[in-house]
A and B are shown apart, each in its own frame.
Chain A
Amino acid sequence: MSVAVLARGLGLRRRRGEASRDCSFELAAGRVAALVGANGAGKSTLLKVLAGLLRPAAGVVEVTGEVGFVAQEKPLYRSFTVAETLRFGRVANPGWDADRADRLVEEAGLPREARVTRLSGGQRARLAVVVALARRPDVLLLDEPLSEMDPVARQETLRAIMVAVAETGMTVVLSSPVMGELEGVCDHLLLLDDGAVRLACDVETLLADHRIVVAPLGADFGAHRVVETREGERQVTAMLRVTPGLDLPAGLVSEPSLDEVVVAHLRRAGVAA
């Protein structure tokens, strides 16, 4: 499988001090990756760098093919109507798919003659995603696309993205402050902390690798990597990254949800920082 997005030794510009150079990952074509991280971890910066809108302080970025990008602000020309916004997409993109654009606008129930200023935040975000999808990019970068949408719009938008992925095999990177809504959609995870990628792997592998173990206080977890522990009065709950081939310590072992794994890693990053 070919690589669609690659970052090597990427330094994301920080407000002060040295640029960290340890943002490296690669993403295979056709993947849908969730980009998660705390506020200020550099999610928006990374996406802008990938979109070619920001020069990295250091390192190399390679993105194969046409790149579509929806910035966090969901920028659109406010005085344009919905129809004019679509016309803008058509004149600015030779590969514009007018049928798809019309279908998506209709599905979203966006009134074609309404000015963008008149749309709600959620509607604006949907229109921005429509413009990005209709230009049929090879790599689609979405910065918190769902943040202002109601639950129904979130579902519909995610479905539209998944349909596009199925049809065209495009690669998608979605950033989100919370993992929950992306579970079941994303097959890849990029966990960003302080400008560095702490985790970059398959969701399936990630889930297979992690276990929650409840053991007596002072238990030894052996060679397994401890992501996070929470100590109670008598026992300790640990999120472990399991080292294959080793037995898990005796205790209550359960499989974590993706959300739990991500939160544990985010919290660990927060403690380290």
Chain B
Amino acid sequence: MIWFAWRQQRLALLALGGYALVVVAVMVHHRFTMPGRFGDEELRACFASLASSCGITEDGWNASSAIRETAAGLRFGVLGFVALAAVFAGAPSLSREWEQHTHLLALSQSVSPRRWFAAKVGVVAVPAVVLAALLGATYAWWTSGLGALIGAQQRLQTGRFEAQPLVMASYALFAVVLGVVVGLVVRRVVPAMAVTLVGWLGALYAVRWYVRPHYATPVVERLGNGVADGRWTLLTGFLDRSGGFVEQAVVDGPLRACAQGAGNRFESCLAEQGLVGRAVLAHPADRFWLFQGVEAGLFAALAGVLLLGAFRWLHHRYRQPISHRPPSRGPLSRQPVPR
């Protein structure tokens, strides 16, 4: 059955493999050529933190901006793989069978619908997960080689978080399974592709905006003069005297009014409002692996739910009527009764 599933989807799978390899090759190329654009001293001193104190030259600064832009583009390419796999390998997998009526052929063979479904899912999901993890790992390896120069410390922040290997693997699993299951429901190739794309992007952005901030309780961090250390900032605002967090918007009006008064300094205005200083509500950088784990688990669980639902539906819907059962006897052969 694996041969059969592969034979049906080999074009899409080969194209996806080719795409992934090209993106990987570009990242490997950058990994080896980009350090050459910085001086040894810059590389050493600015690796940990990109501040004026690390002695970066203007050229170095420009180069680091350029590669951060390159990295942003490649992150798009890395994450785009998931959408491509879902749309071009996941969604057509079953919708094409229904569109061309070949499900009538496949489902009337001896092989059980569940084995058929498992082969069809596996042959798409396994390569998609492996390639997604490879892309994520290559991205992580590439950025780790340039440290702060490429913004590697900010990996918990939205946008960079999604290009990491662990979540990439679970995204690919979820998106491909979503595509296959949507195909089972929609049963037309092009609509299934569209629904899959919308569904995958909807799930990703819903989790990014509404779910991921709640994986752990955010902490209040007072802003000092130091450089941002890779935390994921949810809200900016102020620290009050009792150690609580006050959102910027809440005190914005009074602060503005106070600052416009003659001779008032910002600090005294803060004190007037009972505030100690600027602060953020954020997830510290060391929660990276926790968040990766929770997010990967979440999407894997969603994929599991979809698979289970599809399995149960197929089993219920396409059971052979009643096989190998001793036939009951009786005068059931009705003659027509003309009326």
Contacts and interface: CB of A to CB of B under 8 A. Distances in A.
Interface of A: 2-4, 6, 8, 24-26, 48-53, 55, 60-69, 71, 73, 75-80, 84, 87-89, 91-95, 128, 131, 135, 191, 197-201, 225-227, 241, 265, 268, 272
B52 interface: no
Contacts of B105: 71, 75-77, 128, 131
B210 interface: no
A199 B336 contact: yes
Q: What interface size band does chain B fall in?
A: 35 or more
A95 B107 CA distance: 16
Tell me the interface secondary structure of chain A in the complex. mixed
A79 B8 CA distance: 8
Given A3-B327, A64-B325, A69 B108 contact: yes
22 contacts: A24-B334, A52-B107, A52-B108, A62-B321, A62-B325, A62-B328, A63-B321, A66-B110, A66-B323, A67-B323, A69-B104, A75-B103, A79-B8, A87-B3, A92-B109, A92-B110, A92-B111, A93-B110, A191-B336, A200-B334, A200-B335, A201-B335
A227 B327 contact: no
Interface stretch (B183-191, B239-247, B312-320): B312-320
Contacts of A89: 109
B321 to A, nearest CB: 4
Contacts of B100: 75, 78
Contacts of A61: 321-322
A65 B107 CA distance: 16
Given A26-B333, A75-B105, A93 B111 contact: yes
A188 to B, nearest CB: 10
Given A63-B321, A67-B321, A268-B338, 19 more contacts: A6-B332, A49-B321, A51-B108, A52-B107, A52-B319, A52-B320, A53-B107, A53-B318, A62-B322, A64-B323, A64-B325, A67-B108, A69-B104, A77-B105, A87-B3, A93-B109, A93-B111, A198-B336, A241-B338
Interface string B261-299: 000000000000000000000000000000000000000
B329 A197 contact: no
Interface of B: 1, 3-4, 7-8, 100-111, 116, 317-325, 327-329, 332-336, 338-339
Contacts of A93: 109-111
A88 B323 contact: no
B221 to A, nearest CB: 58
A89 B111 CA distance: 10
A265 B335 CA distance: 13
A226 B339 CA distance: 10
Given A63-B321, A92-B109, A25 B8 contact: no
A94 B327 contact: no
A63 B338 contact: no
Contacts of A71: 101, 104-105, 108
Contacts of A135: 109-110
A91 B108 contact: no
Nearest to A268: B338
Which of B4, B100, B109, B110 neighbours the largest number of chain A CB atoms within 10 Å of its CB? B109
Contacts of A265: 336
A191 B338 CA distance: 14
B332 A225 contact: no
B109 A25 contact: no
Contacts of A26: 332-333
A211 B323 CA distance: 40
Contacts of A60: 322
B333 to A, nearest CB: 5
A67 B7 CA distance: 25
Given A51-B108, A55-B317, A135-B110, A25 B325 contact: no
A21 to B, nearest CB: 12
Contacts of A227: 338
A77 B8 contact: yes
B108 A53 contact: yes
